[in-house]
Structure 1
Amino acid sequence: MTSLSEIQDRERSALVDDLRALTSEQWRSPTLCDTWDVEDVVAHLGAASMLSTWGWIRSIVGARFDSDVHNRRRLEEFRGATPAATLERFAETGPIGLPSRESPAGLGELVVHAEDIRRPLGIRHEPDAEGLLAVARFFAAKDFAVNSRSLVKGLRLIATDADFRSGSGPEVGGPLLSLVMAMAGRPAVLDDLSGDGVPVLSRRTAGVR
């Protein structure tokens, strides 16, 4: 069985390969991640990979528990002088290790933010199936970096392309990657989904940043 940290390494390498082909204009393109452009998201991922659990605690306490301040400080700390420099720094990082290198949380952070970048740019990528399934199960079971479990509470999630079933209630069905992105609060993927639970999920994600 491939470890989740090894899957992270492969997914990071695949994202780096996609990003090497971007134009300067594309680096400034909007993403699915609030007001961040492509370089912002890459710098955020790179910064996350450099933080230990205690480093994260010190950072969030120093930001007075304001996650926006924490994220912006770490993002700016990681960013290079140019998008190309930021990308090279990101290419040399290791797995995101919060709360541990083998937790699905770090892989989920990478998978979601990679899709935040790729989807608006029209870049298609199929994440590692085993890793994506681990992320989906984690998101459905826990509120960690995102309130994923709360977003889908009382809903029945069914993947149409993987062996994933979770919860009970009104049904939400669709590709596993779209279900993962929906659990991460990305309303842009709701058109990929079907079922009588989609309007409920739409209302819940409307205010998610």
Structure 2
Amino acid sequence: MTPTTPPASSTWSLIHSEREALADDLAGLTGEQWVTGSLCDGLTVREVLAHLTAGADLGFLRWMTGVLRCRFDFDRQVAMRLAEQLGATPTETLARFRQVAGSTTKPLPSTLAMLGETVVHAEDIRRPLGIGHDYPVATLTTLATYYQCSDLPVRSKKRVAGLRLTATDGPFAAGDGPQLSGTTLALVMAMAGRMAYCEELEGQGVALLCERHAAL
């Protein structure tokens, strides 16, 4: 597949749609569900949602100011911004996320990177909760194509270098080398470092991908 860059306006439309869908999915969560561990190590689903809110409310200048304040400790910066958006209750956490669902503010230079943050973190939340979501294949294909060629914001390009990636439910296909096949969502999440999805992939490239994840 030849990488193409969709218009930013089109990508923002995908981001807004996925944010709204996630908010709707979380509207009926119980208190116990809100403290469920996410696929992000050490974070609950509520905390990941607050992290998404922070990303949608944080422009580059504020992001860089935070980086300097935290002395280039990026984990500390993430924790600081997450705490700002968590709110006093899960209801407030969700309300804050809904308020920024249509935002086009971004700390990252790439709008496609923001799409990745939205989809990957939404799945970080949904999967542990057992919430299914029918992501449009076109959205996932756009993201898979981006991740296969970029290491921003995660080292996705490095993870799959020298592998042949083939989606079993859509048109995405890229790279050369040992085969790695599965649904487009599984490929996206594996490229983003979520090894829970490796069990959904097939081919000789799976073992190599897992080795690289351990190294990274």
TM-score bracket for this pair, using the shorter chain length: over 0.9
Residue of 49, 53, 59 corresponding to 2:56: 49
Shift of 1:63: 1.4
Q: Contact 1:7–1:128 (CA<8 Å) still a contact in 2?
A: no
Shift of 1:106: 0.4
User: What secondary structure does 1:158 align onto?
Assistant: strand
Structure-to-structure mapping, 1:3-14, within 5 angstroms: 3-14=10-21
CA distance in 1, matches of 2:128, 2:28: 15
Unaligned runs of at least 5 residues, structure 1: none
Task: Name 1:104's counterpart in structure 2.
Answer: 112
Task: Name 2:37's counterpart in structure 1.
Answer: 30
**Deviation above 4 Å: which 4+ runs of structure 1?**
none
CA distance in 2, matches of 1:150, 1:96: 27
Task: Name 1:114's counterpart in structure 2.
Answer: 122
CA distance in 2, matches of 1:154, 1:188: 21
Task: Name 2:97's counterpart in structure 1.
Answer: 90
Q: Which amino acid aligns with 1:198?
A: V
User: What secondary structure does 1:64 align onto?
Assistant: coil
Deviations 1:136-169 (A, max 9, x none): 1111101111011011111111111111111111
Unaligned runs of at least 5 residues, structure 2: 1-6
Task: Name 1:170's counterpart in structure 2.
Answer: 178
Q: CA RMSD in A?
A: 1.5
Q: Contact 2:163–2:180 (CA<8 Å) still a contact in 1?
A: yes
Q: What TM-score, normalized by structure 2, do the two folds share?
A: 0.91
Residues 1:137 and 2:145 are matched in the alignment: yes
User: What secondary structure does 2:108 align onto?
Assistant: coil
Structure-to-structure mapping, 1:179-198, within 5 angstroms: 179-198=187-206
Q: Contact 1:157–1:172 (CA<8 Å) still a contact in 2?
A: yes
CA distance in 2, matches of 1:187, 1:37: 18
Identity of aligned residues (%): 44
CA distance in 2, matches of 1:7, 1:95: 12
Task: Name 2:3's counterpart in structure 1.
Answer: none
Task: Name 2:162's counterpart in structure 1.
Answer: 154
Q: What TM-score, normalized by structure 1, do the two folds share?
A: 0.94
Counting matched residue pairs gives 207
